[in-house]
Structure 1
């Protein structure tokens, strides 16, 4: 019997006295599990389930939302399927329910590929590839996108991991987000403005306890040092899990639901979502990458464990 997320690809690496394991899924090239020395770094879910709250999935050719699924291409109206009926938006791209084709599966890495085919609302052909590769402190995810259309195609990339730190209660972790602005949204969670976080409750640069915050916002002005941005969750004992991303990922979405459907029942969780563009980028153009015909785009992010 097939799992709702398709084939499951277990990964394992033993190096420098550490054991790193992960499970990657065929559907949405999702990350279902990641551990370092038995310490879970992401929220997991049963093989018999769909990803709760889009846990671990790849977001292509846009992350987050497109207002009412509508945008303009060279003056012509485009209408995407409405995949968030409650808010009336198109959400999380076009591959979240797609089964990727296996390219390579080795003990320490898996490579999968999927095409975005021309369709109403997005008349472009893209080839996409995702590599999940274990490293001695976690995982590196590399995306490659090639525009096979005859015209330039608008593209943005994101991912939707929920981070964790073993059995430390999520509410006790300290959330740090190194970003200088926050997107304010309307009732449909579409950005209407951007404001500095300094002096507000959304300044997470020095860290805030997860149990004390309620966030579902995009952040801009992500700080990059030596080609990488780093967001983190830190335990009271100093251990931490970090989400890093290369300079292509100039934005991050932070989501702290209290009803995440964990195996033991609904509870608090923290999604830290690297994004190359914010919500509604097909309309605003902010962060949007226009790939020329035949042009390839390669970009990476990852999750790492730092012991004290």
Structure 2
């Protein structure tokens, strides 16, 4: 493992083994890049600036949004800092700008840890960690948490990878997502209803070209098929797959047209695994309730398959 100088995303930790290479930044434990046999699996995060549009971030202790930054704990109102002020929400947890410590490291794996301290609207000290480990065809990611408070604490986690299949144009890729519902959102991107996707334009289970999608949409009832929650397939058959383990019942798909890439803005596709839906601190859906001293763990991953079905 190589360690480089401090950048806008903290210290860059490089993992490399058998043709698989990942670069991790210690700020937000960001996945800065992943390649398999020199084929880009994720959009790279440049060293000179913070991750664009959340690219590669870890989202903890909740993914997505909390409406108005408000939620209720044991009958007492809690007010989080509004980190999405334009929409009046708290977004993507409490560690987006936090430096993680390197807890363990080897040539092909690294574990980063950070404390979530008590703060506005969040009275729990939680120890969190994320382990990135190379696999022969991609990357395995494991998130863990321990509750150091004297009361039960809610917890959820997500990640924000933007996927690609090497140099194939994004608009030509086909996105398949094994999700049975989607969340309707208001103008502030907060959920107002959940609908079945069957028979609608939101049904991605059969695959849809990314160029035809205009989404910033949360999906529920994600049921992986042979471990695969989503797949991005190139015209030649090469593919990148999002693997979701137990406890990952949700995903967000975001297809911005203004993603910055090599000085030019264009189409990108984020497929974000989540253990809970938007506004989960209010709905309670998908939340893990951590007893004092309790620990929880959730895992997901990325897998690349070359054209012809091999690496």
Q: TM-score, normalised by structure 2?
A: 0.96
Q: 1:138, 1:305 within 8 Å by CA — same for their partners in 2?
A: yes
Cα offset for 1:82? 0.4
Q: Following superposition of structure 1 onto structure 2, how do residues 51-66 of structure 1 map, counting pairs within 5 Å? A: 51-66=51-66
Pairs within 5 Å for 1:7-46: 7-14=11-18, 19-46=19-46
CA deviations 1:178-224 (Å, max 9, x no partner) are 00100001111010110000110010000000001101111001113
After superposing on structure 2, the runs of 4+ consecutive aligned residues of structure 1 that deviate more than 3 Å are: none
Task: Tell me what 1:290 maps to.
Answer: 289
Instruction: For residue 229 of structure 1, report the CA deviation from its aligned partner.
Output: 4.2
- Match runs of 1:256-275 below 5 Å: 256-275=255-274
1:42 is paired with a residue of what secondary structure?
coil
CA distance in 2 between partners of 1:151 and 1:266 (Å): 46
SS at match of 1:211: helix
Equivalent position SS for 1:7: strand
Equivalent in the alignment of 1:157: 157
Alignment of 1:71-220 (within 5 A): 71-220=71-220
* Secondary structure of the corresponding residue to residue 282 of structure 2: helix
State whether residues 46 and 263 of structure 1, in contact with CA within 8 Å, keep that contact through their aligned partners in structure 2: no
Unaligned runs of 5+ in 2: none
Deviation at 1:286, TM superposition (A): 1.0
SS at match of 1:53: helix
> Does the Cα contact within 8 Å between 1:222 and 1:229 map onto a contact in 2?
no
Match of 2:238 in 1: 239
- Counterpart Cα distance in 1 of 2:55 and 2:224: 25
Give the distance between the partners of 1:2 and 1:21, measured in 2 at CA. Answer: 19
How does the TM-score come out when normalised to structure 1?
0.97
CA distance, structure 2, for counterparts of residue 45 and residue 128 of structure 1: 23
Q: Who is 1:278 aligned against?
A: 277
For structure 1, which runs of at least 5 residues remain unmatched after alignment?
Answer: none
CA contact (8 A) 2:137 2:304 kept: yes
Counterpart-to-counterpart distance in 1, 2:244 and 2:230: 9
Give the Cα separation in 2 of the matches to 1:210 and 1:93: 28
